[in-house]
Amino acid sequence: MISQEKLQAIIKKIKGQDGVRGVVVTTMEGLPLSSDLDPETTETVAAIITSLVGKALDAVRELKEGNLSFLTLDTSQGQINIAPEPKEGLILVVLK
């Protein structure tokens, strides 16, 4: 698994980009590993995104479309960018 130092460096780099409102890193099981959001929002994001990624992985597998690499959700308030890394057991979520 990725080291905490490397994880924090990645989050710091992402947070430095324009328009980023929050970053959450969670396990594929929904356990938040790192976040710059409040604890309640972090738990909610981790739970919902983990479920969404699971469904997306199932869809890609069933449709024989290769591997899922990225999801973007466009919302009325911005975007939610999701980068699952099943081999690492992690999901990166960026709220823009």
H or E stretch covering 27: strand 22-27
**Boundaries of every domain in the chain:** 4-95
* 30 φ/ψ sector (left φ>0, alpha ψ -120 to 50, else beta): left
pLDDT truncated to tens, each residue of the chain (96 aa)?
Answer: 678 888 888 888 999 999 999 999 999 999 999 898 999 999 999 999 999 999 999 999 999 999 999 999 999 999 999 999 988 899 999 999
Under CATH, which number does the domain 4-95 receive? 3.30.450.30
- Stated pTM of the model: 0.89
